[in-house]
């Protein structure tokens, strides 16, 4: 074993899991295991990040939330462009995001989504721009990447899984999947190269269960739904 | 006291030609039966037209000539707008009909970094408005006016040297009748200096006290009070185009002139624009109006121009535009920024807001919004859309999903168990929420956290009254 270590320390030996550490300006993701796999130790600033997701609702947004909460402490905007559902204010607030920094932009077409994302990234007054443009082309992503470089913000694009095979100018691409209620991250591309083992991350800020439920965290079985007697929350009357 | 005079030699022509790049030769004519050319632009001059020529001769020389009738009322308005714009340099501005604006700048010189810097700023600013002016500075308003009329852009700051500076100026610059000037010419007096050398009592007897008074005022021997100009609260200006246009670019060119003027006006008033109405006048059709809103007050000409460009690009014009009009419908006080010790800390509020306006100009006002919490236990009532950036007290709830489905989606059920592409697994719950009896939107629900076969985490509830059954209301995105 010691002999092997000796060999591995030789400068001409390169291991597949290694990647060049580069000084990139980035924002910590809030997930330590993920930070160690990303070249700058977090979501890269002044760059586009492409997240490939099959379906919303697997925890893809919670992956970004710690970074967003951190960014919202500064003066710039956080922009959600064409989100798939209504961003629910109480949850954002509870996760530490300053709502007065958040803008939601509704669009009528993918072209408008890309236009708005490019504008926001280029403006330099948005610390993070998160867009759901649907199917994208390499050329439009390239425009977003150059806009992000100019505006120095974090650009995140959610693309469908189908786009995984097509080339993308985004310096960071991560494919997300759900695995037993945890989020499985597969880094397809990152600056500095190298291959990273898929990462299994617990992003759930597990919703605390109602107080009377003593089976917290355990899946409830069908039969157990009926007899449960939850505490009544009655408001408005004394 | 130090006065600067902005003198506009061809104001009647300049107020037209500033609205467009020179394309067609333009002249101003008078309204007599046999009209004459009063002034002509460079294009007309190169075709051989000159001031004083009869209009028919001018047209013979240059058939594509555009001749506009001189309009004293519009010229006065143009001067008033220039005066409103110059209020940013000094609080004391006076309009001198027919073609000059006077500014008392003694106390502004230090603020703007010296007389030279101030004059440069004024002439550059005027160029942005599309005007060319002679700017002369002197200790008395009369002297500044005489120097500017002579086309001398010079500054005389020392009162003792004033008489020397004025000596060489011709008498024709004075506000005296033609007869007086001619009579003086007959006795060999053509310059102010020669006139000042004449015995005063004789001059008063032969040519009237008026002449002496005007000279004395210019030299500072008599007081020369000027009426200060008070700009109106709202900026409202109409700029006729030399030739009607269809295209956006020439419209923007003309609009730039008004934007620069309006922004100076706003700086004078210490206010920022929140709503602007742009009216495009057509020849035979009712005008097209464009309203532009700003989320926070601004007077940044670039920001206004950017937004205008975005809006104009999407306006359908029914006909050519012959004039554009600006109305600052709503403005609010706006203090200038403080500079920060560390420039990188600084994110001017204006810049932060300009992106909101930009998005709204293209996507519509409702498409860009912020979100806020509301104190209500019913999930669909616990949030609302608000103006971006509004700070509102609200409490979050960590048990809530990041995505909400509004309205909730009804789930299929099998043997009382919710289905979404297969049976759902329930993880937590129930959380009972009841409320709303007071406003008619009564809910009685048991909420559960569930996951489906694809690993999505769902927030579902069972309605306990009315439309009983299972509903999907959120996703833990």
In whole numbers, what is the pLDDT of chain A averaged over residues? 79
What is the model's pLDDT at position B387? 87
Task: Decide if A57 touches B, using CB distance below 8 A.
Answer: yes
- CA dihedral (B249, B254, B257, B263) in degrees, to 10, reads -80
Rounded to whole angstroms, the Cα distance separating A61 from A80 reads 11
* CB nearest B426 (choices: A104, A106, A219): A219
Residue A215: which pLDDT band, with cuts at 50, 70 and 90? Answer: very low
Question: B136 and B152 in contact (C-beta within 8 Å)?
Answer: yes
A106 vs B353 pLDDT, higher one? A106
- Residue range B210-217: average pLDDT? 88
In whole numbers, what is the pLDDT of chain B averaged over residues? 85
Q: What is the pLDDT of residues B379-401, one digit of tens each?
A: 888 888 888 888 776 777 778 88
CATH 3.30.870.10 fits A46-204, yes or no: no
* Contacts with B, A 17-56, CB within 8 Å: 54-56
Contact criterion met (CB < 8 Å) for B377 and A205? no
What is the model's pLDDT at position A20? 60
What is the model's pLDDT at position B341? 59
Residue A118: which pLDDT band, with cuts at 50, 70 and 90? Answer: very high
- Residue range A110-118: average pLDDT? 92
- Residue range B10-21: average pLDDT? 84
pLDDT at B339 over 70: no
The DSSP H or E segment spanning B80 is: helix B72-86
Residue B51: which pLDDT band, with cuts at 50, 70 and 90? Answer: confident
Q: Where are the domains of chain A?
A: 46-204
Rounded to whole angstroms, the Cα distance separating A113 from B78 reads 44
- Smallest CA–CA distance, residue A227 to chain B, in Å, is 11
B283 three-class SS? coil
Residue B300: which pLDDT band, with cuts at 50, 70 and 90? Answer: confident
Cα three-residue angle A172-A95-A81, rounded to 5 degrees? 50
What is the model's pLDDT at position A104? 93
Sort out which chain A residues have CB atoms less than 8 A from B405's CB and list them.
85-86
Task: Decide if A235 touches B, using CB distance below 8 A.
Answer: yes
Specify burial of residue B454 (Cβ count, 10 A radius: 0-12, 13-18, 19+). middle
Task: Decide if A105 touches B, using CB distance below 8 A.
Answer: yes
Rounded to whole angstroms, the Cα distance separating A13 from A20 reads 14
B157 three-class SS? coil
Query: Among the listed ranges B46-55, B232-241, B272-281, B331-340, which one has the minimum average pLDDT value?
Result: B331-340
- Residue range A78-88: average pLDDT? 92
- Residue range B223-227: average pLDDT? 88
Contact criterion met (CB < 8 Å) for A85 and B394? no
Q: What is the pLDDT of residues A153-207, one digit of tens each?
A: 999 999 998 888 888 899 899 999 888 778 888 988 888 777 777 888 887 654 4
- Smallest CA–CA distance, residue A221 to chain B, in Å, is 7
What is the model's pLDDT at position A18? 63
Token representation of residue A179: 């695995």
The DSSP H or E segment spanning A112 is: helix A110-123
Contacts of B225 (CB under 8 A, 6+ apart): none
Residue of B nearest to A82 (CA): B367
Task: Decide if A84 touches B, using CB distance below 8 A.
Answer: yes
Q: Residue B353: CA atoms inside 13 Å, Cβ hemisphere, count?
A: 19
Contact criterion met (CB < 8 Å) for A91 and B401? yes
pLDDT at B310 over 50: yes
**Local structure of residue A207 (DSSP, 8 states):** P
CATH top-level class for B236-363? alpha beta
Rounded to whole angstroms, the Cα distance separating B155 from B434 reads 80
Q: What is the pLDDT of residues B428-456, one digit of tens each?
A: 778 888 888 888 888 888 998 888 888 88
Question: A136 and A159 in contact (C-beta within 8 Å)?
Answer: yes
The DSSP H or E segment spanning B297 is: strand B288-298
- The CB density around residue B130, as the number of other CB atoms within 10 Å, is 21
- Residue range B22-29: average pLDDT? 81
Q: Residue B262: CA atoms inside 13 Å, Cβ hemisphere, count?
A: 34
pLDDT at B200 over 70: yes
Sort out which chain B residues have CB atoms less than 8 A from A102's CB and list them.
370-371, 388
Task: Decide if A118 touches B, using CB distance below 8 A.
Answer: no
A110 three-class SS? helix
Looking at chain B, the whole-number percentage of residues with pLDDT higher than 70 is: 97
Q: What is the pLDDT of residues A39-62, one digit of tens each?
A: 888 899 899 999 999 888 888 898
Rounded to whole angstroms, the Cα distance separating A153 from A18 reads 27
What is the model's pLDDT at position A115? 93
Rounded to whole angstroms, the Cα distance separating B176 from B334 reads 45
Looking at chain B, the whole-number percentage of residues with pLDDT higher than 90 is: 6
Q: Residue A93: CA atoms inside 13 Å, Cβ hemisphere, count?
A: 22
Give the rounded distance of the alpha carbon of B477 from its chain centre: 45
Looking at the predicted complex, does its ipTM rise above 0.95?
Answer: no
What is B429-451 written as a DSSP string? EEEEEEE-TTTS--EEEEEEEEE
Query: For the domain bounded by B3-24+65-219, which CATH number is listed?
Result: 3.30.70.270
């Amino acid at each position: 074993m010691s002999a092997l270590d000796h060999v591995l320390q030789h400068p001409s030996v390169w291991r597949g899991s290694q990647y060049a550490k580069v000084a990139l300006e980035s924002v910590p993701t809030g997930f330590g295991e993920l930070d160690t796999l990303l070249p700058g130790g977090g979501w890269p600033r002044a760059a586009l990040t492409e997240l490939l997701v099959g379906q919303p609702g697997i925890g893809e947004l919670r992956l970004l939330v710690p970074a967003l909460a951190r960014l919202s402490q500064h003066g710039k905007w956080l922009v959600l462009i064409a989100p798939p559902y209504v961003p629910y204010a109480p949850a954002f607030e509870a996760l530490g995001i300053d709502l007065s920094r958040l803008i939601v932009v509704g669009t009528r077409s993918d072209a408008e989504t890309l236009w708005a994302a490019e504008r926001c990234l280029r403006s330099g007054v948005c610390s993070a721009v998160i867009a759901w443009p649907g199917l994208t082309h390499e050329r439009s992503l390239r425009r977003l990447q150059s806009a992000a470089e100019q505006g120095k913000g974090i650009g995140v694009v959610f693309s469908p899984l189908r786009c995984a095979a097509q080339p993308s100018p985004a310096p960071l691409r991560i494919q997300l999947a759900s695995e037993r209620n945890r989020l499985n991250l597969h880094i397809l591309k990152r600056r500095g190269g190298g291959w990273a083992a898929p990462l299994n991350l617990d992003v759930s800020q597990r919703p605390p269960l109602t107080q009377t439920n003593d089976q917290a965290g355990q899946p409830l079985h069908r039969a157990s739904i009926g007899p449960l007697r939850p505490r009544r929350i009655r408001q408005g009357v004394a | 006291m130090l006065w600067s005079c902005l003198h506009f030699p061809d104001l009647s022509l300049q107020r037209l030609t500033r609205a467009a790049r020179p394309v067609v030769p333009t002249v101003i004519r008078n309204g007599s039966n046999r009209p004459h050319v009063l002034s002509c632009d460079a294009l007309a001059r190169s075709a051989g037209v000159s001031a004083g020529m009869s209009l028919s001769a001018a047209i013979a020389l240059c058939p594509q000539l555009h001749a506009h009738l001189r309009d004293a009322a519009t010229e006065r308005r143009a001067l008033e707008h220039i005066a409103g714009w110059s209020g940013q340099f000094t609080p004391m501005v006076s309009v001198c009909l027919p073609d000059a604006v006077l500014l008392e700048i003694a106390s502004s010189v230090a603020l703007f970094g010296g007389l030279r810097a101030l004059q440069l700023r004024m002439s550059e600013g005027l160029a942005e408005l599309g005007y060319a002016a002679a700017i002369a500075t002197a200790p008395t308003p009369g002297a500044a006016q005489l120097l500017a009329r002579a086309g001398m852009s010079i500054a005389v700051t020392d009162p003792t040297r004033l008489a020397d500076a004025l000596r060489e100026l011709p008498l024709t610059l004075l506000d005296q009748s033609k007869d007086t000037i001619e009579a003086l010419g007959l006795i060999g007096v053509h310059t102010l200096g020669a006139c000042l050398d004449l015995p005063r009592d004789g001059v008063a007897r032969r040519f009237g006290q008026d002449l002496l008074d005007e000279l004395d005022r210019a030299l500072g021997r008599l007081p020369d009070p000027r009426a200060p100009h008070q700009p109106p609260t709202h900026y409202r200006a109409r700029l006729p185009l030399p030739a009607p246009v269809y295209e956006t670019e020439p419209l923007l060119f003309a609009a730039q002139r008004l934007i620069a003027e309006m922004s100076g006006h706003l700086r004078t008033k210490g206010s920022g624009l929140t709503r602007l109405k742009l009216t495009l006048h057509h020849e035979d059709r009712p005008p097209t109006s464009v309203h532009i809103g700003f989320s926070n007050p601004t007077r940044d000409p670039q920001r206004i121009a950017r937004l205008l460009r975005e809006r104009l690009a999407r306006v359908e014009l029914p006909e050519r535009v012959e004039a554009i009009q600006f109305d600052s419908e709503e403005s609010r006080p706006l203090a200038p920024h403080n500079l920060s010790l560390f420039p990188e800390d600084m994110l001017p509020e204006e810049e932060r807001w300009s992106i909101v306006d930009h998005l709204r100009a293209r996507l519509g006002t409702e498409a860009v919004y912020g979100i806020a919490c509301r104190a209500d236990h019913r999930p669909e009532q616990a949030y609302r859309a608000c103006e971006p950036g509004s700070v509102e007290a609200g409490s979050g709830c960590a048990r809530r999903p990041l995505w909400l489905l509004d309205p909730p989606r009804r789930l299929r059920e099998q043997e009382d168990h919710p289905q979404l592409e297969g049976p759902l697994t329930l993880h937590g719950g129930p959380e009972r929420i009841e409320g709303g009896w007071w406003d008619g939107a009564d809910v009685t629900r048991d909420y559960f956290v569930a996951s489906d076969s694809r690993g999505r985490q769902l927030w579902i509830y069972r309605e306990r009254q009315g439309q009983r059954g299972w509903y999907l209301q959120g996703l833990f995105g």
